Amino acid sequence: MFELLLCSMFTILPDFLVRRYVQGKRIGKEITLFSVWYELRYGITACAILTLSLITLIFYFHPSTTNVSSFFRTITILPEKGGRVVEVYVKNDDEVNAGDPLFRIDNRVEREAVAMAEQRIAEIRAQMDVARADIAVAEGNVEQARGAYNQVRDELKVKADLLSRGTNAVSRREVERLEVSLTTRQGGLNAAEASMNVIKTKLDSLLPAQLSNAQASLRSAEADLSKTVVRAGVKGNIQQFALQVGDFVSPILRPAGILIPEKDGETVFLAGFNQISTQVVKKGVITEVSCASLPFEVIPMVVTDVQPVIAAGQFRPSDLLLDITERAKPGTFLVKMVPLYPESIADVPLGSKCAGNAYTNTHAQLENPDIGTGEWLFLHMVQTVGVVHALLLRVQTLLWPIQTLVLTGH
């Protein structure tokens, strides 16, 4: 309507003034309802063409969208394993810090596992103490066997020497008996040393490995026990948390609530523009938004990034062939914006519904010394008609509360 009125001032109105005051035609006489089209046909035709051209020019070079919002992250409060709730430490709307406990589920099985792991560790350490005592016994047995072996060896050496000299004090049978006894003593010494080596290997290798395994089992049991207490991963606000003692929670079947992390860093607004504006809305373009949660305010912003793909064309492999007709609805391309003045969005809640305009900037082209006159006029016209769209956004901002509170009812 605004574009039609603006174009009429340069087409229909001058045509009417010429015919009324220059040609002397009178309203109701020569200019009647039936003769309006014939008398003002040139002005009406020019007005229609100029209006359509102006609307096309405005909406192409200064596109608008009603899909603007500041998205925020939420974290589902879930235990790592299902269980019955036995303690609840927080309530809805509480502010929590990272690491604060939220609730605890039944942990009797986990506590028993920890106790068994601790008992196993104590048992292995007792076995190590016994093995140390066994080593002392084994060392005594080795010394005893070595002494017996040395005694028989020395006796055999003396009697073998006497026998070699031809004396009758020692018989060959006695020497042979000592040789057999020496072999037996050697076997006993080897058995004692082997028994001591077995005990040392058990103390140095087997029992430490079993102790490490038991300690790992204890750490695993303690980790499982710690999982029964669900804690906040980040600082934030608890919402939709109605958990009570006796409720059953599960990481698959039933979450406990939602944690909204504290806002960190700069707030980014995401806008979806029509695909026809892809070549116009670029990084660095100035935009304006108006949000329902902040009536009568227009917030200046700047585009920081443009998503390089359009979500409507994404492909995910499945067991069905893709039918292109299912993608007939054109998607929008995503634009990321931040406020030029961060304090201007201090009162805008995250997730607010907003509408916005983007304005084409032709200053860089206008500064080109080789620009032609026609192009110079066109670029100036593109800049100028942006005022029309900015005015329309402000009119929409003024009417938004009236449409919401009055025209659409409660």
Q: How far apart are CA 256 and CA 103, in angstroms?
A: 9
pLDDT at 12: 65
pLDDT at 39: 65
Residue with tokens 């009797």: 108
Residue with tokens 């028989």: 152
Q: How far apart are CA 174 and CA 167, in angstroms?
A: 13
Q: With respect to residue 214, please indicate whether it lies within any of the assigned structural domains.
A: yes
pLDDT at 14: 72
Quote the tokens at residue 213. Answer: 């395994």
Tens digits of per-residue pLDDT, 197-251? 887 888 888 888 888 999 999 999 999 888 889 999 899 999 988 888 988 888 8
Q: In terms of domains, do 276 and 402 share one?
A: yes
Exposure of 13 in the CB half-sphere (CA atoms within 13 A): 7
Q: In terms of domains, do 95 and 39 share one?
A: no
Q: In terms of domains, do 137 and 175 share one?
A: yes
As a whole number, mean pLDDT of residues 352-370 equals: 86
Cβ pair 242, 92 in contact under 8 A: yes
Residue where a domain terminates, one of 227, 251, 284: 227
Percent of the chain with pLDDT over 90: 21
Tens digits of per-residue pLDDT, 70-84? 888 888 888 888 888
**DSSP reduced 3-state for 94:** coil
Q: In terms of domains, do 137 and 279 share one?
A: no
Q: In terms of domains, do 160 and 295 share one?
A: no
Q: With respect to residue 317, please indicate whether it lies within any of the assigned structural domains.
A: no
Q: In terms of domains, do 211 and 120 share one?
A: yes
pLDDT at 410 over 60: no
Residue with tokens 């073998």: 160
Tens digits of per-residue pLDDT, 302-328? 999 999 888 888 877 877 787 777 777
As a whole number, mean pLDDT of residues 92-121 equals: 91
Q: What is the CATH number of the domain that holds 237?
A: 2.40.50.100
pLDDT at 103 over 90: yes
Other CB atoms within 10 A of residue 98 CB: 12
Q: How far apart are CA 261 and CA 237, in angstroms?
A: 6
Least confident of 160-164, 183-187, 243-247: 160-164
Tens digits of per-residue pLDDT, 32-81? 766 666 666 676 777 778 778 878 888 888 899 999 998 888 888 888 88
Classify each residue of 388-403 as buried b or exposed e, where b means 16 or more C-beta atoms within 10 Å of its C-beta: bbeebbeebbeebeee
Q: With respect to residue 316, please indicate whether it lies within any of the assigned structural domains.
A: no
pLDDT at 34: 67
Beta-carbon contacts of 44 under 8 Å, excluding residues fewer than 6 positions away, are 11, 12, 37
pLDDT at 7 over 70: no
pLDDT band at 96 (very low <50, low <70, confident <90, very high): very high
Taking the C-alpha atoms of 227, 232, 238 and 243 in order, what is their torsion angle to the nearest 10 degrees?
A: 10
Q: In terms of domains, do 291 and 398 share one?
A: yes
Q: How far apart are CA 244 and CA 105, in angstroms?
A: 11
pLDDT band at 3 (very low <50, low <70, confident <90, very high): low
Other CB atoms within 10 A of residue 386 CB: 21
Count of the separate structural domains present in the chain: 4
Q: In terms of domains, do 242 and 303 share one?
A: no
Q: What is the CATH number of the domain that holds 277?
A: 2.40.30.170
Classify burial at 286, counting beta carbons within 10 Å of its beta carbon; exposed 0-12, middle 13-18, buried 19 or more: middle
Cβ pair 387, 357 in contact under 8 A: no
Q: In terms of domains, do 100 and 125 share one?
A: no
Q: With respect to residue 6, please indicate whether it lies within any of the assigned structural domains.
A: yes
As a whole number, mean pLDDT of residues 105-109 equals: 90
Q: In terms of domains, do 101 and 167 share one?
A: no
Q: Which of 188, 162, 189 is nearest to 175 (CA)?
A: 162
Q: Which ranges of 320-406 would DSSP assign to H, the alpha helix?
A: 363-366, 373-402
Q: What is the pTM of this model?
A: 0.68
Q: Which domain holds residue 243?
A: 75-105+231-261
Q: With respect to residue 318, please indicate whether it lies within any of the assigned structural domains.
A: no
Q: With respect to residue 324, please indicate whether it lies within any of the assigned structural domains.
A: no
pLDDT at 127 over 60: yes
pLDDT at 348 over 70: yes
Q: With respect to residue 319, please indicate whether it lies within any of the assigned structural domains.
A: no
What's the mean per-residue pLDDT of the chain? 83
As a whole number, mean pLDDT of residues 344-362 equals: 89
Q: How far apart are CA 76 and CA 251, in angstroms?
A: 10
